[in-house]
Amino acid sequence: MFTQESADYNQQQTIKSNLNRRHFLKAGLGACALIALPTAQAKILNISERRLSFLNLHTGERVQSTYWAEGQYIPEALQAIEMVLRDHRTDERCAIDPNLLNVLQLLRSEIGTTQEFHVISGYRSASTNAMLMASSGGVAKKSLHMQGKAIDIRLPGQMLSTLRKAALSLEAGGVGYYPASDFLHIDTGRIRAW
């Protein structure tokens, strides 16, 4: 005999079953995420002090800075890096994604150099990005440069193809190869290459 009580009980059991299934799926996805920790994230955890050097090719400004030590980012160092990587056309600044710095740190480690990065483009304001888009076909409308999550670089003494190969091996974001212009684009977006 089917009663309202048994219908309520069945509905409660269905809800519990769905919740348990969701909990199980979430836990499983979380475990998979830990197992699939990107190579770059796993490697950066082993570096106790993170130090980078940059030369902005447009302004001639340099910075050499330890931006992470004793388990934390150093705000003054991040600001100094932000200043050198600013949009040289508008003088606008933007916080640079610390993950981008970590990728560059790993890239230098992968190649085995302490050379300074030569910066072609760091942060870009929306107006600079629009101007570059109008004059060049290779600029994205929603470029990660506008969020401080991309940089165009070269590394003296290193072949661009070697730099590209090392960047791709990190599997840490986007890698754009521009041999005709002699620079490599690196960003912290999804993993992709062009």
Give 70-129 as a DSSP string.
TTEE-HHHHHHHHHHTS-TTT----PPPHHHHHHHHHHHHHHT--PPEEEEE----HHHH
The answer to whether residues 138 and 103 touch, using CB atoms and an 8 Å cutoff, is: no
Query: Does residue 30 surpass a pLDDT of 50?
Result: no
Give the residue with greater pLDDT, 137 vs 145: 145
Q: What is the pLDDT of residues 101-110, one digit of tens each?
A: 999 999 999 9
d(CA 107, CA 123): 19
Query: CA nearest 96: which of 146, 38, 45?
Result: 146
Strand partners, 53: 64
135 pLDDT above the threshold of 80: yes
pLDDT tens digits for range 36-59: 445 655 667 677 899 999 999 999
